[in-house]
Amino acid sequence: MELNHDHFFNRELSWLEFNDRVLGEARDATLPLLERLKFLAITSSNLDEFFKVRVGGLDMLASRGVTKLDPSGLSPADQLNLISQRTQQMVREQMTCFLSEVEPGLNETGLRRRTREDLSEKQLRFVKELFRGEIQAVLTPMKVELDQEFPALIQESLSLCVRLKSTETTAEGETLPKLAIIPFNNYSLRFVTLPSEGGYEYILLEEIVAMFVDEFFIGEQVEECVPFRITRNADFSLREDQALDLMSQMEDLIEARKEGACIRLEIAADVSADLVTILQEKLELDDAGVYRVTGPLDMSAFWELVGLSGFENLQINDWPAQQSSEIGPSDNLFELMSQKDLLLYHPYESFEPVVRFIEQAADDDDVLAIKQTLYRTSRNSPIVAALIKAAEKGKYVTAVVELKARFDEARNIEWARNLEQAGVQVIYGVQGLKTHAKICVVVRREPQGIRRYMHFGTGNYNEVTARLYSDASLFTSDDDLGADATSFMYAITGYSQPHLYNKLEAAPTTIRTKLLDLIEGETERKIQGQKAEIIAKVNTLVDPEIIEALYRASQAGVKIRLNIRGACALRPGVKDLSENIKVVSIIDRFLEHARILYFHQGGDDLVYISSADWMPRNLDRRLELMVPVEDIKNRDRLLDILKIYFKDNVKAHQLQPDGKYRRLKRGKKARFRSQEVLYQQAREAANRASQTSRTVFMPHQAPGSDSNRM
């Protein structure tokens, strides 16, 4: 397919605009100060992963001389140049926000960061004792030999670079630099609490070490001491066709990341030009990869302060997950699911029923088997514990553990080994594809015969992130979906060939085709004069074929509304191309993560939930699911949720034809914040259910009495 480059935004630059919207929350003076600090930490954490993966991959392509253009017409080298320009600006704005707005505000409330210049005598004594009593004993300086490789530093960990006075010279009489590195590695003491008369005062570890750095180098003269951190390329792929032992190969890949090429150097802005030059040469880094930071490095670490006790007035009010109005706290999920399909929308509704579903399956004597995919789980996963318990009780348990889940490989390897030791049949996914589908199938023996109960989700089986991410959960015992789910698991775990399902759509075989057919169906109906509409909520939209299909639908007059959280390569609002397409993005306290799709379908209202974003990797190189929601109540609820997002005039940004996002202005309209509305709806539903349960009288019956007798 030949692409018109003017029809597409660059994916990486679009993602940076998403991160700028996250930074926009930190700039929002209406938010509590620690909430603003949280968004500064998220912005920094997002950039770390972006550099490790996206920039790392582009750097590798550029270094190999690859000049292939992306859909927007940019080569890898072009993209790296534009990314550097945009990110340098973003880092400056991030530091301005912290140093000029957030930190001064925190200081006024009694939450203060101290530097060596403003320590009291008591604090200075405390810091000196801490350094000599602990810090100096823990940290170890490393000599930097200029004619040898640079020391192997841990990815993204802070270090101090120390320049010592040198007497060595070259044959030409030039002084040879004398350097040492003090790596902090995994030392957790970044924020040191100081004694104070009130409030909370702290000093950063790098500030303390710099104060007493000369005590590491007795007899030497320290001329310069600056904090820095490096980011290495972590975009390594595995040749699975050559991996006889996938787990061993994954462990090797994790080790390889520790030695990836340096792609970013973050360093204190007051560093000397000479020292930067030396580090660039040792790290083989060009100017575009150097980020001079005017404030503290690694703002992601400041998440530690966000929930600080005693400063609740600087934090947002908690929105605790509500009990589902459909699922009581002691309900048996199998009994409920045998009667109807159940829908949950997290984190407004608790993730607890998902955990309970698997725990009840482990304890239920009538359950014969559990089959589940695991992509990202929590550190102390109750779901994994339930699967282990089920296997130990003699149930047939199959777990598809995706070892290739980026940056969760080590944890998944550990879980895989624990599951195997308990007798679980562990599958490491399918060769060449990541298993990203979210599915659990429970096979149960009942008086009428074998029945299958399923959970399908848009998010991971992770009860921790389920409190922060918005995702949908569907519980069902539908026979056709049960047959489809079993066939899908067979295709992953055995040699069964993928085939057409009754109701499910799966990548990489059918989701792309189904999406194109659904979009084309709306296009044809509009051409025939019928009503046509598409509403979709996904995290990323960068697939050229899907985008071109949406353009054709727009040109035919189809009304298209897209809620895209992150990168969007589609250019909306362009005359004669996409003027019927509206793209909004919601950035608020919860991370928008659910994928929900709606097609008018001539009035039949087709609604799906999916694990897949609209990206080539999801549609072509991953195992994904797209699940129809057929129950009218659940279908209508998801459609209402989709529409709620497009009413937001508080946290919504609309994508413009030039690629910039504009925060929607409320004007004279009433304030409407989508996440707040969804939370209030969940609270009201939970309260109604609670009131109903309290007003039902349950009389004690005499033994043998007929409860139906009047």
Task: Return the structure tokens found at 471.
Answer: 């995702």
The H or E element spanning position 361 is: helix 352-363
CA distances from 5 to 2, 22, 571, 573, 653 (A): 9, 28, 11, 16, 24
Share above pLDDT 70 across residues of the chain, in percent, rounded to a whole number: 91
pLDDT of residue 238: 43
| CA dist., res. 169 & res. 174, Å (int) | 5
For residue 203, pLDDT beyond 90: yes
pLDDT of residue 12: 96
Mean pLDDT of 416-443: 86
The H or E element spanning position 685 is: helix 674-694
What is the fold, at CATH topology level, of the domain defined by 1-109?
A: Methane Monooxygenase Hydroxylase; Chain G, domain 1 (1.20.58)
Query: Does residue 504 contact residue 481 with C-beta atoms inside 8 Å?
Result: yes
Token pair 């413009």 is found at 656
pLDDT of residue 415: 66
Q: State pLDDT tens for residues 303-324.
A: 999 999 999 999 999 999 999 9
User: Which SS3 state, helix, strand or coil, does residue 411 take?
Assistant: helix
Query: Which segments of the chain belong to CATH 3.30.870.10?
Result: 333-503, 507-686
pLDDT of residue 617: 93
* Residue type for position 647: K
pLDDT of residue 421: 87
pLDDT of residue 344: 98
What is the fold, at CATH topology level, of the domain defined by 114-301?
A: polyphosphate kinase like (3.30.1840)
Token pair 């582009």 is found at 58
pLDDT of residue 166: 83
> 65: alpha, beta or left, given left = phi > 0 and alpha = psi -120 to 50?
left
Q: Which of 84-88, 290-294, 394-398, 496-500 is predicted with the least confidence, judged by mean pLDDT?
A: 496-500
3-state secondary structure 68-112: CCCCCCCCHHHHHHHHHHHHHHHHHHHHHHHHHHHHHHHHHHCEE
Q: State pLDDT tens for residues 54-73.
A: 998 898 889 889 999 999 99
Mean pLDDT of 625-636: 98
| CA dist., res. 646 & res. 584, Å (int) | 7
**Torsion angle in degrees (nearest 10) through CA of 412, 418, 423, 427:** 10
Token pair 């570890």 is found at 205
- Is the preceding peptide bond at 703 cis, omega within 30 degrees of 0? no
Confidence of residue 552 (pLDDT cuts 50, 70, 90): very high
Q: State pLDDT tens for residues 358-373.
A: 999 999 999 999 999 9
Q: State pLDDT tens for residues 504-526.
A: 999 999 999 999 999 999 999 99
| CA dist., res. 54 & res. 151, Å (int) | 25
pLDDT of residue 410: 63
pLDDT of residue 156: 85
Query: Which segments of the chain belong to CATH 3.30.1840.10?
Result: 114-301
For residue 565, pLDDT beyond 60: yes
State CA 518 to chain mean position distance: 28
Query: Does residue 558 contact residue 582 with C-beta atoms inside 8 Å?
Result: no
- Residues assigned a catalytic role: 436
Q: State pLDDT tens for residues 665-692.
A: 888 889 999 999 999 999 999 999 888 7
* Residue type for position 78: D
For residue 642, pLDDT beyond 90: yes
pLDDT of residue 237: 52
- Identify the CATH class of 333-503: alpha beta
Mean pLDDT of 457-475: 96
Query: Does residue 156 contact residue 297 with C-beta atoms inside 8 Å?
Result: no
For residue 537, pLDDT beyond 70: yes
User: Which SS3 state, helix, strand or coil, does residue 203 take?
Assistant: strand
Mean pLDDT of 437-445: 97
The H or E element spanning position 692 is: helix 674-694
Token pair 């992509």 is found at 375
pLDDT of residue 512: 97
| CA dist., res. 697 & res. 326, Å (int) | 19
For residue 21, pLDDT beyond 70: yes
Share above pLDDT 90 across residues of the chain, in percent, rounded to a whole number: 77
Confidence of residue 496 (pLDDT cuts 50, 70, 90): low
CATH code, 507-686? 3.30.870.10
| CA dist., res. 454 & res. 343, Å (int) | 12
User: Which SS3 state, helix, strand or coil, does residue 141 take?
Assistant: coil
What is the CB neighbour count within 10 angstroms for residue 204?
21
Mean pLDDT of 80-93: 97
Mean pLDDT of 115-141: 95
Confidence of residue 602 (pLDDT cuts 50, 70, 90): very high
pLDDT of residue 337: 97
Query: Which segments of the chain belong to CATH 1.20.58.310?
Result: 1-109
For residue 212, pLDDT beyond 70: yes
| CA dist., res. 574 & res. 570, Å (int) | 10
Q: State pLDDT tens for residues 261-281.
A: 899 999 999 999 999 999 999
For residue 258, pLDDT beyond 60: no
Query: Does residue 531 contact residue 523 with C-beta atoms inside 8 Å?
Result: no
Mean pLDDT of 443-465: 96
Q: Give 699: exposed, middle or buried? Use CB within 10 Å, 0-12, 13-18, 19+.
A: exposed
What rounded mean pLDDT belongs to the chain? 90
